[in-house]
Amino acid sequence: MKVLVPIKQVIDANVRPRVKADGTGVDLANVKLSINPFCEIAVEEAIRLKEKGKASEIVVVSIGPAKAQEIIRSAYALGADRGLFVETEERVEPLAVAKVLQAIIAAEQPGLVILGKQAIDDDSNQTGQMLAGLLGWPQATFASKLEVDGDRATVTREVDGGLETLALTLPAIVTTDLRLNNPRYPTLPNIMKAKKKAIDVKKPEDFGIDITPRLKVLKVSEPPARKPGIKVASAEELVKDLKAAGVL
């Protein structure tokens, strides 16, 4: 079974984003970029399926500016077999990503698509669901456990009331949650090998898809600064302050 893993380049999770002075977006100049953490979990899960003999090939796909090819090589270093990169300087929205992936899936014919539930830059949490809708495939979102047996997959997902277990007939779409696994670190030999591996580069036009944004960003601003907390000497004083603030 072939597993396809869409991945996205974002500001590194350990870096604090800076908003541009004119409020038009986030400043990416001289900022460390890396694989979206949820995407990295998806790559790790695909690798584990291959190690168990459940998957035969792992294909990673990414869409973005030329410099985002770096994350394809990062996925190679972790254990991905083949990479496809769709190059564009346009801001790509979830629906456009889903349409491009739909075309790639039609050509690749994977048995399973695993992708992060959301990207930490826009937090849209839409691509997996939209892709499943376009394909007419079953989907399981926010997966905290994934098991594959033949043409069926069992997914445990976290819901407000606890855990929910779903059975899916493959091919299917699975989106990953944080507790699905802990991604491995790439080894130095694999990092060096990844630098020499080829990447198949395409353009959105090659798939006949218009990725022109449908949404316009009006303004980006920093969140309001939090007021510093205070210390109280006793529970009685805390209750008094809460009553004064109208909380109680």
Q: How far apart are CA 90 and CA 44, in angstroms?
A: 28
Where is average pLDDT lowest: 39-53, 94-108, 233-247?
A: 233-247
Using pLDDT thresholds of 50, 70 and 90, give the confidence band for residue 181.
very high
Residue 146 has pLDDT above 80, yes or no: yes
Two tokens, residue 79: 């254990």
Question: What sign does the dihedral 9-156-110-102 (CA atoms) show?
Answer: negative
What is d(CA 90, CA 101) in angstroms, rounded to the nearest whole number? 16
Two tokens, residue 86: 């769709």
Q: CA 183 to CA 48: how far, in whole Å?
A: 10
pLDDT for the residue numbered 225: 83
Residue 146 CA, distance from chain mean position:
17
pLDDT digits (tens, 9 = 90+) for 100-113: 999 999 999 999 99
Cα gap 185→188, rounded to integer Å: 10
> Higher model confidence: residue 27 or residue 198?
198
CATH of 2-244, one of 3.40.50.300, 3.40.50.620, 2.30.130.60, 3.40.640.10: 3.40.50.620
pLDDT at 158: 87
Q: What's phi and psi for 219, nearest 5 deg?
A: -165, 145
pLDDT at 98: 96
Mean pLDDT of 52-64: 95
Q: How far apart are CA 86 and CA 207, in angstroms?
A: 10
